[in-house]
Structure 1
Amino acid sequence: MSNWKFRLQSAYATVTKGCRHAPHKPRDPRGISHSRLYHAKTFFTPLSRARAPQILVASSAAVAGIAALILSASSQRKALAESEPPQRLIRLHEIHQHNSTSDSYWVYHGTSVYDITEWVPNHPGGEVILRAVGGNIEPYWNIFTIHQKQEVYDILEQYLIGQIDPRDLVEGKAPMDDVDDPFKADPQRSDTLVVRSERPCNAETPEDQLGTFITPSNQHYVRNHLWVPDVKDGDNHRLVVELTDGTEKEYSVAEIRNNFKHHTITATLQCSGNRRAHMTAEARATSGLQWDIGAISNTQWTGVRLRDILHDAGLSVDMLPEDAKHVQFVGAEAYGASVPAIKAVDRYGDVLLVFEMNGKPLMRDHGFPLRLLCPGHVAARSVKWLNRIVVSDEESWSQWQRRDYKCFGPNQGSKVDWDEATSIQETPVQSAITSITNISKNRLANSELAKVYGLEEDAVKVAGYAMSGGGRDIVRVDVSPDDGKTWQQACLIDDESKGSKAWSWKRWEIAFAKHDVAKHVVVKAIDESYNCQPESYEATYNFKV
């Protein structure tokens, strides 16, 4: 990559030559302005001896006044302390009663006790939090290490109700519960994946694989919200389909594979937070995993049409009932999401129940033995380890549908009305630079790009990917070697893709004379509807996604 370094200075993808940035400076985790973190100070200026007698009385009065203020403040603190009720002492056996079978949920952390009943519906990990209620939450936080940060501790403190009774403490500490590690059966993964979190595993496709059209299965990016279910018998894994009238039909994976027509499509899956680290660096801090450009992969998927399964279960797919607005999906580990019913049954929408990737059975990280594939939509809707489908008049009620994967205005912070925002479905148009390479003059004779762009001297080759949602094809990729001052069109690589629409990424490449390449190289993509990749991160800033 020579001495160019990747940098995303805007929503356009850019590369920076020889430039390093100061790390992002996070705001104080308590949300307090820094001016309030310092103690107020009084500064005294030395006085000349000639003036000292004149102000002796005033100085004495001032000292007396300060003493009075200190005494007054001390009295106020004492009165306030006496007015506060003593903290409630709670026995461990009472905490244990407020477990997952109770109407209220308690946990303890350290020696403090919390009633988190109101928080459970808002928990980003869904009802998995119920594993911890009735006991010590710390062992679970040691497993789900993403919780070990100040903002989580601050949320917990809002639900404080008391302290553990000293009679139940051992040497001043609460007992540490032994808990079963739900990640102990997770699969082995390729060492070349770029890991962003270990528990749950979230990892990017390595940079050298972003230039291939089909991503090798073991190099496909991994996005897990929880642990990986350990399904022993894939053929007998069950899927239940429920219609709006409550009727249900059950299928085994073997029945799905053997009784319905197979379809293979080539489709790109991308986490909706892909390139989030760039938004943090170039706009403001964002919440969530700080993905670079690799939370994206392109794969050949084989399965059966969801449309065919729903029709077999009794749904009128050509004339949907009025109450069939959404199709909800539930995974074996508790993850849930939904897509509009009109997408689910679209004969050209290629929504599949998948059991193979790249010609082989699904890998465990990617949904073995059965997953949904909703091409053209953010990957958050393609539920893995699928075990239930519900046709409904409402969206999924899961945390990941209702209080995650939504967009807000650039002026809005984390305290938003989630119910007012629309769930993200189709992927917006975008592109990214994946490599930049020097081409010496003596190698130009064998370079097709040199012929296309009329190069006869040392050159720089830039390559990357572009994609858009909804099956919209990429029709143009514009690249600027000088931070947007001038533009040229990249060559679009004509890869063979399967499917009713353009579900795959489009690879592109371009070359410039080396002396024309300035500090920033910028790329933007345009799809067939002439949607254009936005220029500014600040204008499209979203605190979460």
Structure 2
Amino acid sequence: MPQLEPRIVHSANPYNAEPRLGFLRTWKLTPADVFYVRSHGDIPRPEIASFRVSVGGRVRAPLTFSLAQLRGDFTRHTVEAVLQCAGNRRSDLQAVKPVAGDPWAGGAIGNATWSGVMLADVLRAAGAECDPALHVAFDSLDDCHVEGHAFRYGVSIPMSKANSAEVLLAYDMNGAPLTAEHGAPLRAIVPGYAGVRSAKWLTAITVQESPSTCYIQSQDYKLFPPDATPDTANPAQGMTINDMPLNSVICEPADRAVLAAGKTTLRGWAIATARGVARVDVSINGGRDWSQARLEHDAGSPWSWTLWEHEVEIPAGNHRLAVRAWDSAGQTQPADADDTWNYKGYLCASWHRIDIGAT
């Protein structure tokens, strides 16, 4: 492992940082102090004893819970799941032409076990209406400042997702209490969705007829077509980013590494939570020829990532490595970042490429 700080800090305030890819690939479960951090404002540090989260809106009996009540009154559930920023791999889109946002390199993702209570159980306790046309909104404690807008963080998910067994109100990460930067004392975990929906520092849960009107939900995390600009983009016509796409990344070796010619092992991650990763192909000549990697995936953890590795023979010289994943429906990633470029830099899922040398 390189003797470097495990995270690359993109901004100190708000704090946004991702692990170096070589560190990330070291563990199946990403440690909390390595796991990427995405913040839109301050990091709240509420007192545990006085913390409360309310449940209201289209419910029969509005309720308020302390953390102790959530731990004691509801069955504890654990899910192993990936969280990933919608802007992960934005640096690849930046290489096409300028985009907005932090230049995530491929480490704005992590896999952990999350423990807490099922959101569905809490909604049921409050007598929430279960109409699939409804939405469940999360309000948080962090004050945000984004593109000249100041607001308190808030997002929402469809009721159909909220009632899924994998969606939790989590208080533990990898068997230990959440740390402040990861949402302590309570956060939502919405596996398969962009990390923005897994709201941290929860303070209120509301069942309502429409999605959250907060800036993050209504205007910011939208996928626009390639001809849209900050001046022409209409948030009402942008696609709301929920489900994350099929994707894969080379973590080892590092981009621009110089290796000894001969056998070397390539390692990385792949993700396809909707259908599962079926195959990962690796190329050492930019995509002209491919061979298949060995996959490591737990069938009992459908919301986690697939780790892969592949031993290759690297001759002396300069080489462009590439990786692409396939899902169980036979779908694969687009070849080029140009194919999915958008000015906000979201959902880059093209082949991941790195350049190396061998002597």
Same fold (TM > 0.5): yes
Would the alpha carbon gap of residues 192 and 438 (structure 1) be closer, same or farther in structure 2, given more than 3 Å must change? closer
| SS of match in other structure, 2:286 | coil
Q: Judge conservation of contact 1:478–1:490 (CA < 8 Å) in 2.
A: yes
Would the alpha carbon gap of residues 518 and 206 (structure 1) be closer, same or farther in structure 2, given more than 3 Å must change? closer
Q: Alignment partner for residue 37 of structure 2, among 206, 214, 222?
A: 222
* Residues 317-371 of structure 1 deviation map (CA, whole Å, 9 limit, x = unaligned): xxx236x521110111121111111011023xx0000000011100000011000
Where does 1:275-424 land on structure 2 (aligned, <5 Å)?
275-281=89-95, 283-316=96-129, 320-321=130-131, 324-333=133-142, 334-347=152-165, 350-414=166-230, 415-424=232-241
Give the structure with higher Rg (CA). 1
Give, in whole Å, the separation in 2 of the partners of 1:484 and 1:242.
53
Give, in whole Å, the separation in 1 of the partners of 2:277 and 2:332.
10
Give, in whole Å, the separation in 2 of the partners of 1:230 and 1:462.
40
Report how far residue 522 of structure 1 moved. 0.9
Give, in whole Å, the separation in 1 of the partners of 2:153 and 2:317.
46
Report how far residue 209 of structure 1 moved. 2.1
* Residues 275-321 of structure 1 deviation map (CA, whole Å, 9 limit, x = unaligned): 1011111x1110111111111111111111000000001025xxx23
Q: Which amino acid aligns with 1:351?
A: V
Give, in whole Å, the separation in 1 of the partners of 2:311 and 2:97.
32
**Residue of structure 2 equivalent to 1:263:** 77
**Residue of structure 2 equivalent to 1:459:** 263
Give, in whole Å, the separation in 1 of the partners of 2:299 and 2:179.
22
Q: Judge conservation of contact 2:24–2:34 (CA < 8 Å) in 1.
A: no
**Residue of structure 1 equivalent to 2:250:** 433
Give, in whole Å, the separation in 1 of the partners of 2:18 and 2:168.
24
Q: Judge conservation of contact 2:30–2:112 (CA < 8 Å) in 1.
A: yes
Gaps (5+ residues) in structure 2?
A: 143-151, 347-359
Gaps (5+ residues) in structure 1?
A: 2-189, 441-456
Q: Judge conservation of contact 1:266–1:498 (CA < 8 Å) in 2.
A: no
Give, in whole Å, the separation in 2 of the partners of 1:291 and 1:438.
23
**Residue of structure 2 equivalent to 1:195:** 9
Would the alpha carbon gap of residues 529 and 257 (structure 1) be closer, same or farther in structure 2, given more than 3 Å must change? farther
Structure 1 stretches of 4+ moved >3 Å: 437-440, 496-499
TM-score by length of 2: 0.86
Report how far residue 237 of structure 1 moved. 1.0
| SS of match in other structure, 2:222 | coil
Structure with bigger helix share is: 1
Q: Judge conservation of contact 1:497–1:504 (CA < 8 Å) in 2.
A: no
Give, in whole Å, the separation in 2 of the partners of 1:253 and 1:517.
58
Give, in whole Å, the separation in 2 of the partners of 1:421 and 1:353.
28
**Residue of structure 1 equivalent to 2:315:** 515
* Residues 508-540 of structure 1 deviation map (CA, whole Å, 9 limit, x = unaligned): 011222239862111111122333111121111
| SS of match in other structure, 1:479 | strand
What is the alpha-carbon root mean square deviation over aligned residues?
A: 2.3
| SS of match in other structure, 1:343 | helix
Q: Judge conservation of contact 1:407–1:424 (CA < 8 Å) in 2.
A: yes
Q: Judge conservation of contact 2:224–2:239 (CA < 8 Å) in 1.
A: no
Structure with bigger strand share is: 2
Q: Which amino acid aligns with 1:217?
A: A
Give, in whole Å, the separation in 2 of the partners of 1:490 and 1:474.
12
| SS of match in other structure, 1:425 | coil
Moved more, 202-211 or 270-279: 202-211
Q: Which amino acid aligns with 1:529?
A: A
* Residues 119-139 of structure 1 deviation map (CA, whole Å, 9 limit, x = unaligned): xxxxxxxxxxxxxxxxxxxxx
Q: Judge conservation of contact 1:274–1:296 (CA < 8 Å) in 2.
A: yes
* Residues 230-257 of structure 1 deviation map (CA, whole Å, 9 limit, x = unaligned): 212x243111111326852111111011
**Residue of structure 2 equivalent to 1:207:** 21
Report how far residue 191 of structure 1 moved. 5.2
**Which has the bigger relative contact order, CA under 8 A and spacing at least 6?**
2
Q: Alignment partner for residue 306 of structure 2, among 483, 494, 506?
A: 506
| SS of match in other structure, 2:93 | helix
**Residue of structure 1 equivalent to 2:68:** 254
Q: Which amino acid aligns with 1:226?
A: G
Give, in whole Å, the separation in 2 of the partners of 1:390 and 1:516.
60
Query: How many residue pairs end up in the alignment?
Result: 330
Q: Which amino acid aligns with 2:29?
A: I
